[in-house]
Amino acid sequence: MAPARDDARTSTPIGAERDPRRVVAFSDGVIAIAITLLVLEIRPPEDTRDLLKGLGELWPSYTAYGITFLLIGQMWVNHHVMFDHIHSADRLVLLLNTLLLMHIAFLPFASAVLAGAFESGHGERTAIVFYGISYVGAAILFNVIWEYARHGRRLLAPTIDVAGARAISRRFRPAPVWIAVGTGLGVLHPLLGLVLVAAFIPFYWLPIKGEIASVKRARESLP
pLDDT tens, position by position, 167-207? 999 999 999 999 999 999 999 999 999 999 888 888 888 88
**DSSP at 156:** B
Measured on CA atoms in the order 193, 195, 201, 202, is the torsion positive or negative?
A: negative
Res 218: pLDDT: 61
Res 9: pLDDT: 44
Res 143: pLDDT: 95
How far apart are the C-alpha atoms of 134 and 172, rounded to whole Å?
Answer: 16
Structure-model confidence comparison of residues 115 and 212, the more confident one: 115
Among residues 135, 118, 119, 133, the alpha carbon closest in space to that of 190 is found at: 118
How far apart are the C-alpha atoms of 148 and 172, rounded to whole Å?
Answer: 13
Average pLDDT over residues 1-26: 64
Is the pLDDT confidence value at 16 over 70? Answer: no
Partners of residue 86 on adjacent β-strands: 156
